[in-house]
């Protein structure tokens, strides 16, 4: 998100798969969303979404992402796939 007004009300993702795949697994991703400045209005809403290849949802920990996953573990890691 480029600035504090990038989201007016909400940006909703429903049942989405966020993938970070790279050749030879060389690229690591610390998060799916980068909020360069704290949003002054609006939220990012993730409903039943899954992430593969990132360690958490919000790189900047701005607390503007609402997660609706079942089950919901630690706030910023719900829906983050773990390699087994």
Whether 40 has a pLDDT exceeding 70, the answer reads yes
65 vs 22, more confident: 65
pLDDT tens, position by position, 7-24 = 788 889 999 998 887 766
Of 53 and 77, the one with more pLDDT: 53
**Residue reference for tokens 């909400």:** 10
The Cα–Cα gap between 25 and 27 comes to 6
What is the chain's mean pLDDT, rounded? 77
Among 53, 76, 51, 54, CA closest to 66: 76
Average pLDDT of the residues in 62-75: 71
CA distance 33 to 55: 11
């Amino acid at each position: 998100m480029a600035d504090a007004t990038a989201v007016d009300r909400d940006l909703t993702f429903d049942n989405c798969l966020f993938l970070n795949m790279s050749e030879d697994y060389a690229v690591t991703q610390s998060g799916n969303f980068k909020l360069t400045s704290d949003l002054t209005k609006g939220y990012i809403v993730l409903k039943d979404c899954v992430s593969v290849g990132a360690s958490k949802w919000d790189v900047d920990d701005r607390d503007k992402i609402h997660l609706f996953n079942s089950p919901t573990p630690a706030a910023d890691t719900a829906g983050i796939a773990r390699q087994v």
